[in-house]
Structure 1
Amino acid sequence: MPDATRPLRKLGFLTIGLFDPADPAAGHQSTLQIMELGERLGFDSAWLRHRHLQFGISSPIAMMAAASQRTSRIELGTAVTPLGWENPLRLAEDLATVDLLAGGRINPGLSVGEPMHYDTVKHELYPDSAELEDFSYARVDRLGRLIAGETVREFSGRQGVVEEFSNRVEPHSPGLRARLWYGAASRKSAVWAGANNFNLLSSSVVFPEKDQEPDFAQIQQSQIRAFREAAATAQARGPARVSQGLVVIPTDSASPSQREKYQRYVDERTPRTRAPQGPKGMLFAPDLVGTSEEIAEQLYAHAGFQEVDEAVFALPFSFDHEDYVQILTDIAGKLGPVLGWTPAENGHDPQRAARPTP
């Protein structure tokens, strides 16, 4: 039986929302059903990965808007939205709109940097300004300021009979700025996030410093501590939050064929975790598969997990809908309680909640 130093306070899940390009609507509907299931199971949050020119969710804002009308309590987030693809002013408008529709439940997770495979898409993404675009922290800082309601321009007021103009992004959602997260995988990004009043999303990828041993858990722990130190010295708008996200696959109620499938998935991905990858020495965390008791023991021994009281467990990329139902049901009904987590008040019995809504 694992020994918890403190109970897990918040528990969420992350999905990529894969779909068949021959029938994309079915995949999107499946993702919405999974998010509804998450609320019924008592999860605190449901997060969407953001994919462009792939067979995963390219518009998580639209998906969150849809989910906001199917759910009433669960928080909805992105992990993460790469701002290199976005205009911060337009994104601020969309996020505020959906946040108001959701009753203040949106948690945008963000990152910066040049878009993946930029040379193959820049002629369409930024045909007139590809070489001038700023993909630095300034881009996410600008989004934060716009969401906070800072002035966009001097012009405002009535023009003509009916036209009225604002000097800030509209609509304005007052609590949204405090719910912005930054997805950091390096110490530099973690410190920047803390110093600039963002919450921290720490996931299954880290970039070590030159003097650090390639130990994923220890590196993640050091990044979280650096974030908290930076946040403590900043004039934060509220308490700094940290969430850790690893791939966990509990098998408590899985069928024999599912267990075999899950283990094969983990075995195929494990070799990449054994050594640093690429010129920056990127490290991947191993996926955790097994009973909830076995996974909990591994988590409690994980230096990164020891630093948090919020977790967002990532669902595997390529599984089927029924697999996700089983995994989420076991996380909510087995793994979460072993970690000291209590489902949200309107969560129901996990086995009953897993049944489709009539």
Structure 2
Amino acid sequence: MTKIGFLSFGHWADVPGSRTPTASDMLHQAIDLAVGAEEVGVDGAFFRVHHFAQQQASPFPLLSAIASRTSTLELGTGVIDMRYENPLYMAENAAMTDLIAGNERLQLGISRGSPETVIRGFRNFGYTPAEGQDDAAMAREHTAEFLRAIEGEGFARNAQNPAQLDPIQPQSPGLRRRIWWGAGSEATARWTAQQGMNLMSSTLLFEEKGIPFDQLQAQQIEIFRDEWKAAGHDWTPRVSVSRSIIPVIDRESNYYFGLRAQAEGQDQVGYLDNSIARFGRSYIGSPEKIAEEIAQDAAVQEADTVLITVPNQLGVDFNLRSLESIVKDIKPAMGN
């Protein structure tokens, strides 16, 4: 059975209608939503990571807090921007969070990152691409070092025995197989497979073939799996896709999304980072209608994990009612 998780962008703003006016409200509600989601049968809680924005940033304190109040829920990110990361410090944080969670629950999505509200913000964190290197290459370099660190490779010379290289501590065995790369193209999907990471297919794709987003994404998944076999890895990877799914089930959901149900049933194509990008459609309407449409979504049927984006500023109760409906009425249509 396909797993489902929620994906929160973690917005907060003191504006009319927002139920997360402060960062504190957003964080505490994220914990409460995760606890409630586990109770209604959701499989995972995933969080976007953005810097210099009124959204969730450093994820490990939040994931650790959720881990301490849940027992089966997978905990993840979608995605950590590796341009900003100190790979060894991140490896320590990831291992500690994984050990707190236990039961192989941590599922870390990482990537080059997404468009930002600032200009090259990673430079303010102290990271500058080397001469001849762009920021994407720097992100992959940070990733390689992070992966070696969680695999237990030694980096620092031991004070008593300088010939010995010591790894970061603690180590969390098995974490290496629970790292996902957020891929927005077929080429990146191939690279992800070659590196032995799970595929977190992006909410947009930098390819335009004149076919619907779900079919384009299904092709990306097939390319990833073919490349995985060619690479000869000895374990089976996971693949996730993200979808905006809003069942209209009561007066409140109809008030906020009823009209959008008629207007947002198509993909969107536009320019992002000077490239053509195709964005997937939203699924809004009655649970029965959404289930019929999801059953025809080629990528959802191919993936083993579906991440449901949630409007976190509408609060915990709204999102739990929505997630409970998705688990009961829509998840059975998501494949095996």
Q: How does the TM-score come out when normalised to structure 1?
A: 0.82
Structure 2 residue identity aligned to 1:186: S
Q: 1:276 aligns with which of 252, 257, 270?
A: 270
Matching of residue 213 in structure 1 with residue 210 in structure 2: yes
CA distance in 2: counterparts of 1:307 and 1:218, whole angstroms: 10
CA distance in 2: counterparts of 1:301 and 1:114, whole angstroms: 29
Deviation at 1:40, TM superposition (A): 0.9
CA distance in 2: counterparts of 1:188 and 1:171, whole angstroms: 34
CA distance in 1: counterparts of 2:191 and 2:83, whole angstroms: 18
Corresponding residue number in structure 2 for 1:346: none
* SS of aligned partner of 1:119: coil
Which deviates the most, 320-329 or 238-247? Answer: 320-329
* SS of aligned partner of 1:277: strand
What do residues 231-276 of structure 1 show as CA deviations (whole Å, max 9, x unaligned)? 112232521111111111112xx322321312355678678x3333
Structure 2 residue identity aligned to 1:96: A
CA distance in 2: counterparts of 1:242 and 1:135, whole angstroms: 22
Deviation at 1:338, TM superposition (A): 4.6
What do residues 315-339 of structure 1 show as CA deviations (whole Å, max 9, x unaligned)? 1354333221211111122222454
Deviation at 1:214, TM superposition (A): 4.6
Change in Cα spacing, 1:189 to 1:241, as seen in structure 2 (3 Å) is: same
CA distance in 2: counterparts of 1:256 and 1:120, whole angstroms: 43
1:182-201 alignment runs, 5 A limit: 182-201=181-200
Superposition CA RMSD, Å: 2.6
Q: 1:258 aligns with which of 253, 261, 267?
A: 253
The structure with the largest strand share of the pair is 2
| Equivalent pair of 2:78/2:182 in contact (CA under 8 Å) | yes
* SS of aligned partner of 1:108: strand
Which deviates the most, 142-151 or 118-127? Answer: 118-127
Change in Cα spacing, 1:135 to 1:32, as seen in structure 2 (3 Å) is: same
| Equivalent pair of 2:154/2:165 in contact (CA under 8 Å) | no
Change in Cα spacing, 1:275 to 1:248, as seen in structure 2 (3 Å) is: same
Q: Unaligned regions of 5+ residues in structure 2, if any?
A: 15-20
Deviation at 1:222, TM superposition (A): 0.9
* SS of aligned partner of 2:275: coil
CA distance in 1: counterparts of 2:6 and 2:255, whole angstroms: 22
Corresponding residue number in structure 2 for 1:16: 9
Structure 2 residue identity aligned to 1:85: Y
Matching of residue 225 in structure 1 with residue 222 in structure 2: yes
| Equivalent pair of 1:204/1:247 in contact (CA under 8 Å) | no
Deviation at 1:30, TM superposition (A): 0.6
Structure 2 residue identity aligned to 1:313: I
* SS of aligned partner of 1:246: strand
Matching of residue 241 in structure 1 with residue 241 in structure 2: no
CA distance in 2: counterparts of 1:101 and 1:267, whole angstroms: 44
Corresponding residue number in structure 2 for 1:52: 51
| Equivalent pair of 2:265/2:283 in contact (CA under 8 Å) | no
Change in Cα spacing, 1:75 to 1:158, as seen in structure 2 (3 Å) is: farther
Structure 2 residue identity aligned to 1:77: G
1:1-358 alignment runs, 5 A limit: 8-20=1-13, 23-103=22-102, 104-112=104-112, 116=116, 119=119, 121-122=121-122, 124-126=124-126, 129=128, 135-136=136-137, 137-153=140-156, 155-156=157-158, 158=160, 167-208=166-207, 212-251=209-248, 254-264=249-259, 273-278=267-272, 279-316=274-311, 318-339=313-334
Structure 1 residue identity aligned to 2:136: F
CA distance in 2: counterparts of 1:269 and 1:242, whole angstroms: 25
| Equivalent pair of 1:46/1:75 in contact (CA under 8 Å) | yes
CA distance in 2: counterparts of 1:334 and 1:286, whole angstroms: 20
| Equivalent pair of 2:312/2:319 in contact (CA under 8 Å) | no
* SS of aligned partner of 2:136: coil
Change in Cα spacing, 1:166 to 1:70, as seen in structure 2 (3 Å) is: farther
Corresponding residue number in structure 1 for 2:18: none
Q: How does the TM-score come out when normalised to structure 2?
A: 0.87
CA distance in 2: counterparts of 1:267 and 1:207, whole angstroms: 27
Change in Cα spacing, 1:151 to 1:203, as seen in structure 2 (3 Å) is: same
| Equivalent pair of 1:214/1:283 in contact (CA under 8 Å) | no
